[in-house]
A = this chain, B = another copy of it.
């Protein structure tokens, strides 16, 4: 049996390990918290810091292959492991580009991939000299995660909220649709595309929490997005799963926002709604097995269950019983003991051929299933 390790032990690692149990593979995971969502689902768990060179190298050196469920890992250790013959998904060079928003934007530019116009600012002084570029989004080059490290600068007064470190300043796009496209690519370079998903905006809740699959796109836009996503992936020359986040504007122009070189939140629905889920697919790629069928069994919608505002402590779920009574709703709670505002505690996928049913149920789920304490 191959020995394969995962850096990171959150919900993505958990769902990867759930899928691993269909195959003969010896699994390893590393995370700093031995009660993390994935800790108990692998053959061998290591408590350790995934950002530490020695920890990552020691974890990986006897493995056949290694993957990540988060970008924020020690890339130098992965490079050494790769040089010593451990297959890495994605390759460390990809993580280097993705982790730095400046390099990531330059990658798009270099490969003529459409992305919002941008300039690099080294400090606040340089930002100040780029006021003509507003309205814009200021993104910290390194170290920004989960919404931190991003500021929308609408007017000149906002500039003081910018970053005094190397950052990207990119023109604000009037977003018509936010689309995520997941691409699988194996070591031979064969690719498989999942149907794109569309992030839906709930005006009442002011949240971007529903992901509808398939996205409602004109054929021309769909084909353009697929071609762009494939271009993003191919130039990386790396096997793995990639989630490419794109925007369209009202004119139908497409812009790549960012890429995650790993299994991704926007692919949760593939567990139930597609023949081969993104998690199943990554195991196929890592084990050298044929790519799976990305086809859709039924249309779906996915709702993230986030920690409710004002609650910080041991989690209790309100409304779980009501949601679990809904037909065709698949509940995934990640087994996190503690909730805090906005923390990803779980998700629910609904599958049905009727889009109206998906929209209706997902809104009801959002209102009903609450992570409190």
Contact = CB atoms under 8 A, between A and B. Distances in A.
Given A289-B324, A297-B297, A27 B1 contact: no
Nearest to A298: B297
A330 B274 CA distance: 12
A25 B320 CA distance: 14
A57 interface: no
Contacts of A275: 327-328, 330
A21 B27 contact: no
Nearest to A325: B290
A293 interface: yes
Interface stretch (A39-47, A65-73, A98-106, A169-177): A39-47
Interface stretch (A82-90, A151-159, A331-339, A358-366): A331-339
Nearest to A39: B43
Contacts of A333: 22-24
A138 interface: no
Interface string A283-301: 0100001101101011000
Contacts of A351: 297
A22 B22 CA distance: 16
A350 to B, nearest CB: 10
Contacts of A146: none
A269 interface: no
A351 B296 CA distance: 13
Given A18-B18, A41-B41, A289 B321 contact: yes
Nearest to A290: B325
Contacts of A344: none
Contacts of A332: 22
A14 interface: yes
A327 B290 CA distance: 11
Contacts of A330: 22, 275
B42 A324 contact: no
A330 B298 CA distance: 17
A22 B331 CA distance: 7
Given A42-B40, A297-B297, A324 B18 contact: no
A327 B22 contact: no
A295 B22 contact: no
Contacts of A325: 290
26 contacts: A1-B335, A17-B21, A17-B41, A18-B18, A18-B21, A21-B335, A22-B331, A22-B332, A22-B333, A23-B331, A23-B333, A24-B315, A24-B317, A25-B335, A27-B40, A40-B42, A40-B43, A41-B41, A275-B327, A275-B328, A275-B330, A284-B324, A289-B321, A290-B324, A293-B327, A293-B328
The 6 A-B residue pairs with the shortest CB-CB distance in the complex, in nearest-first order? A40-B43, A290-B325, A293-B327, A22-B332, A290-B324, A18-B21
Interface of A: 1, 14-15, 17-18, 21-25, 27, 40-43, 275, 284, 289-290, 292-293, 295, 297-298, 315, 317, 320-321, 324-325, 327-328, 330-333, 335, 337, 351
